[in-house]
Structure 1
C-alpha cells in the first residue's frame, strides 16, 4: 500500500518543524552553557545566605538543624562533600537532642549521599540500621527513595540484576506512600511504566508532566531525560537530541552537577557523528561529576570517555593534517603571489624604463621632425629665393646685354663719324655705372619686398618707439633697411654686404651697430627675429 500524498506532506512538515525546534533548543543550550558560571554564582549566593543565617542565629539546636537541612538540600546535587558535612553536623545535633526523627532523617540523608559517592557499604549499613516500622510517616518516602537509589546505583556498579529487581520493589513501596497528586508520584509512576516495557504510556504521562513544569523546576530535567531515553529506544535520534538538550538546560540553570543529561547529549552527538560536540559535552559531564563527587556518574562517564576521546583525537589529527595541508597550500600560493609581485614589479620597472626611453626617443624624434620641418621650410625658402633671383638675373642679364649692345653701337657711330670729343666725354662719364647701380638696387628692393612684403613694418616693430626707419618718398628701401634685408636673406658677412652695397666695411659695421642700439631687445635676439620676418609670396 502506497502512502498517501497528504501523509507524506504531513511527515515532511513535521520533520521540518522538528528540525526548527531542535535548532532553537540547541541555540538555547549553547547560550545556557556559556552562562554556567552565572547560574553557579546564583547557587553559591543562596548557600552563602544560609551560612550567614547559621552564623548569626543564637545557638538554638533546632534552628541550626533546620538551616543545616536546607544546606544539605542545596548541596545535595551540587557538591556532595559539603552536603555530607552538614548531614554529619545534623547527626550530632540529633544525638544531642535525642530526637529519633532527626536521627532517622539524617541517616537517610547520609545513606543517599554515601551511595552517590560510591560508599555503598556505609550507605547500606545506615539503611539497615533504620527501623522501618518505627519511621515517621513523613520520612517513609525519603527512606524508600534512598533505598531505590542505593539499589539502582549499586546494581549498576556491579552489574547485579538482583539489585535492579530490588530497586523496582522499592519503587513500588515509594509509590504506595507518596501523595498521588504530587509531581514526584507522577514521575515515579511514569518511570515504573517505562521500565515495565510500556514506553508509549510512559511517554504520554511524561509529556503531560512536561507541560506542567518549566526549566526553573529541577524535576523537569528528569522528565525530559526520560523522554530522551524513550526516543533513544525508538531510534528517533532527533527527538532524543531534543529532550536531552532540554534536560541539560534545566540541569545547568539549576546548577545540578549530579546529572545524566550532559552524558546523554555527548553520546547522542557521538551517534550523530559530531565528535567535537560529543567530546565537549562528555568533558562537561565528567567535570560536573568530579566537582560534585558523584562516583557512579564519574565511573559511568569515564567508561565512554576513552571512546569519544579517541575519536576526537583522531578528528583533531585529521583536522590538523588538513590544516597543515591548507597552510602548505597557502604558503605555496603566498610564495607564488610574492614571486608574481616581484616579477610584476620587475616588469613594471622595465616597462617604466622602456616608456622613459620611448619618451626620450619620441622627444628626440619630435625635435628631429621639428628640425627637419624647419630645414624643409628654410630649403623651400632658399629654393624660392633662388627661383626669384635666377629669373630676375636672366632678365637683368638680357637687358644689360641689350644695353651694352646699344652703348657699343652708340660709341661705334660716334667713332665712324669722327666725333672723338663726344666719344671721349662719354667714356669719361660715370653716369652709366651710377644708373646701372641704382637700377640694381631698385631691382633688389623690388624682388625682396615681393618676397617679404611686410619687412619694413615688422622690422620697425623690433625697434624702440620713435626709432622707426622709413624709406624716403619714391624709395622702396634705404641703405639701413637694405643691410638688414641682406641679413634676412642669410648674408651675414659684412664684407659681402659692403661689396654689394659699394660701401666700406666700417660704414656697414657702423650702420649695423647704430641700428642694434635702436633695437628693443638684445643683439642676438634682434638678429634672430630679423631672420624670422616676413612670409614668402610667389611672384606671379
Structure 2
C-alpha cells in the first residue's frame, strides 16, 4: 500500500518543471520511502525465495535450472554479489556440461562483472583475458566491452582514479558504443554519460528523451534519472540535480538496489548545504547498502566521506546535549528562585489578609463603641470621666492601628524596593540569603527535586526501568510512594547528564562527598556487568545512535 501511494506521488511530478514546493514534497517522499527501506528489502527477499523454491522441483531439467539461475543472478546482482556469483558459477558448469559456448561466454562475462563489483579485480581480469573479443559472438561483444569498462571504472575508484585507468575507461566506453545497437537503452545511456564531460546540455536532452520511453520506478529509470542529475550538475543547476537524484534514489530503494550512487550524491549535497541530519541519514543508508551487498568499490568510495559526516554529526549532537544540560540547569535554578518568590509573596498576602480582618474587627468595635456613646449621651454629665477614658482608649487604639499600618506599609515598601533592586540587578544570591529559612529551603528543595525528577524523566522516560535492569536480581531500587526518584537514582541521573564530579553532585543533593562516593561504590558492586563498566552503561541509557 505504501509503495503504491509513494509511486503515485512520483507520477504527479512533471519532469520538466521544478520549484521549492515540489522539491520539498519530493524530499519528504524520499524520507518516507527511506523509512520503509527494510520493507522493500524483505519484499525482494520474498521474491527471491519464491524463485528458489522452483529449483527444488525434482523434474527440473538442467536447461530449466540454467534459466532459473540466470533469473536469480539478475535479482542478486546489485543486492548480494556473493549469492549472485554462486548462481552464475553454477550456470558456467551447466553451460560446459551442455556444450553451449554462447551460454558459457555470457555467464563468464557476468561473473567477471560481479568480481569487479566486489573488488576481485585479478579474478575479473583473468576471465576477460581468457575470453578474447575476437572469438566472441557479435551479440556478446557489447557485454564484453561493458565488463572491461566496468572493471577499469571500479578499479579506478578503488585505486584513486589513476590516469591509466581513466584512459582505459574511455577506450572501452567507445568500444561499447561501437558494438551496441544505437537504439538500445544501454548505448544511449552510455552515450549520455560520455557527453557529460564535453557537452552536459546535450547529454541532458538525450537522457531526458530516453527517460520519456522508460516506465517510472524501474532500475533503468533509476539509472537514467541519475544520469540526468549528473548532467544538471555539469550545468550548475543544483535544484534540478537534487530533484533527479531524489527520483533515482527513490527508484533504487523501491527496487532494493544496493548500489545507491544517487543516495551517496544526495548525502554529499546535504553536507555541502550544512544539513548534517540528512547527510548522516543518507550516507549511513548508503554505507549499509554497500556492506550488505558486498559491492566493494562503493564502500571504498563512501567510507572517507561517511567518516567526515559521522564525525560532524556526532560533534553537533554533543553540542546540542551540552546546551540542553546548561538550559536545564538554568531552568531548575530559575524555577527554584521563582518558587521561593511565590512562597514569600503568598506569606505576605496572608499577612495582609490577617491585617484586613483585624481592621474589619476594629471597625466593628468602633461602630459598637459609637452606638454605646450615643446611648450614654444622656448620661454625659454623670459619666464624663468614663467618656474621657473611652475617648483616650479610642484615640490610642486608632493611633496604634495607624502606626501599625504605617510601619507595615513602610516595611512592605522597603522590602519591595529591596527585592525589586536585587531582582532587577540579578543579585540572586543576596536575595536568597535575605529570604533564607530552613523550613522554606527544605520545602523548596523538595520542590526543586520534584521538578528535577519530572524534567529528567521527561527526557529519559525509561531511566528507572533501564537502570534497574543493570542491577542484579533483588538489588533493584524502588522510589517511595509519591516520589519519582530517590537519592541513589538522582546521583546516577546527574551522572547521565554528564555531571561526574562527586563534589558537584553532593552540593546539588545537599549531602557529603563521601556519601556520594559510597553510594556509587555500593551500586557498582550490585551491577550485573563488570563493576568498571557499570557507569559507562548508565551513560548509554536513552542513547538513539545505538
TM-score of Structure 1 vs Structure 2, range by shorter chain: 0.5 to 0.7
CA distance in 2 between counterparts of 1:27 and 1:342 reads: 50
TM-superposed deviation, 1:286: 0.7
The match for 2:76 is 75
If the length of structure 1 is used for normalisation, what is the TM-score? 0.63
SS of the equivalent of 1:273 reads coil
CA distance in 1 between counterparts of 2:382 and 2:152 reads: 136
The match for 1:145 is 146
Q: Work out which of the residue numbers 161, 169, 172 in structure 1 matches 2:171.
A: 169
TM-superposed deviation, 1:264: 0.5
Within 5 Å, which residues of 2 pair with 1:188-199? 188-195=190-197, 197-199=198-200
The match for 2:182 is 180
CA distance in 2 between counterparts of 1:262 and 1:17 reads: 20
The match for 2:227 is 226
CA distance in 2 between counterparts of 1:194 and 1:116 reads: 23
Within 5 Å, which residues of 2 pair with 1:7-46? 17-46=18-47
8 Å Cα contact 1:215-1:253 kept in structure 2: no
TM-superposed deviation, 1:305: 2.0
TM-superposed deviation, 1:357: 4.3
TM-superposed deviation, 1:315: 2.4
TM-superposed deviation, 1:353: 4.0
The match for 2:245 is 244
8 Å Cα contact 1:241-1:265 kept in structure 2: yes
8 Å Cα contact 1:190-1:205 kept in structure 2: yes
* Cα distance change of structure 1 residues 384 and 339 upon mapping to structure 2, 3 Å threshold: closer
* Cα distance change of structure 1 residues 57 and 180 upon mapping to structure 2, 3 Å threshold: farther
Q: Point out where structure 2 has 5 or more consecutive residues left out of the alignment.
A: 1-16, 384-546
The match for 2:540 is none
Q: Point out where structure 1 has 5 or more consecutive residues left out of the alignment.
A: 1-15, 387-540
Q: Does 1:109 align with 2:110?
A: yes
8 Å Cα contact 2:40-2:254 kept in structure 1: yes
* Cα distance change of structure 1 residues 339 and 215 upon mapping to structure 2, 3 Å threshold: farther
CA distance in 1 between counterparts of 2:170 and 2:359 reads: 106
Within 5 Å, which residues of 2 pair with 1:381-400? none
SS of the equivalent of 2:196 reads helix
CA distance in 1 between counterparts of 2:116 and 2:18 reads: 42
Deviating above 4 A after TM superposition, structure 1's stretches of 4 or more consecutive aligned residues are 382-386
> Deviation per CA, 1:144-181, whole angstroms, max 9, x where unpaired?
21111111111232233223222222222222332332
SS of the equivalent of 1:78 reads coil
SS of the equivalent of 1:58 reads coil
Q: Does 1:339 align with 2:340?
A: yes
CA distance in 1 between counterparts of 2:134 and 2:231 reads: 37
If the length of structure 2 is used for normalisation, what is the TM-score? 0.63
CA distance in 2 between counterparts of 1:147 and 1:160 reads: 16
The match for 2:367 is 369
> Deviation per CA, 1:436-457, whole angstroms, max 9, x where unpaired?
xxxxxxxxxxxxxxxxxxxxxx
* Cα distance change of structure 1 residues 156 and 98 upon mapping to structure 2, 3 Å threshold: same
> Deviation per CA, 1:247-291, whole angstroms, max 9, x where unpaired?
211111111101211111111111112222212211111111001
The match for 1:305 is 306
* Cα distance change of structure 1 residues 17 and 340 upon mapping to structure 2, 3 Å threshold: farther
Q: Does 1:279 align with 2:280?
A: yes
CA distance in 2 between counterparts of 1:328 and 1:352 reads: 32
8 Å Cα contact 2:204-2:232 kept in structure 1: no
8 Å Cα contact 1:240-1:268 kept in structure 2: no
CA distance in 2 between counterparts of 1:57 and 1:40 reads: 29
Within 5 Å, which residues of 2 pair with 1:292-441? 292-347=293-348, 351-380=349-378
The match for 1:123 is 124
SS of the equivalent of 1:123 reads helix
CA distance in 2 between counterparts of 1:119 and 1:358 reads: 95
CA distance in 1 between counterparts of 2:211 and 2:340 reads: 66
CA distance in 1 between counterparts of 2:328 and 2:58 reads: 66
The match for 1:426 is none
TM-superposed deviation, 1:364: 4.5
The match for 2:254 is 253
TM-superposed deviation, 1:325: 3.1
CA distance in 1 between counterparts of 2:373 and 2:323 reads: 76
Greater Cα offset, 116-125 or 240-249: 240-249
The match for 1:489 is none
TM-superposed deviation, 1:133: 3.2
Pairwise CA RMSD of aligned residues? 2.5
When Rg is computed on C-alpha atoms for both structures, the one with the higher figure is 1
CA distance in 1 between counterparts of 2:100 and 2:286 reads: 39
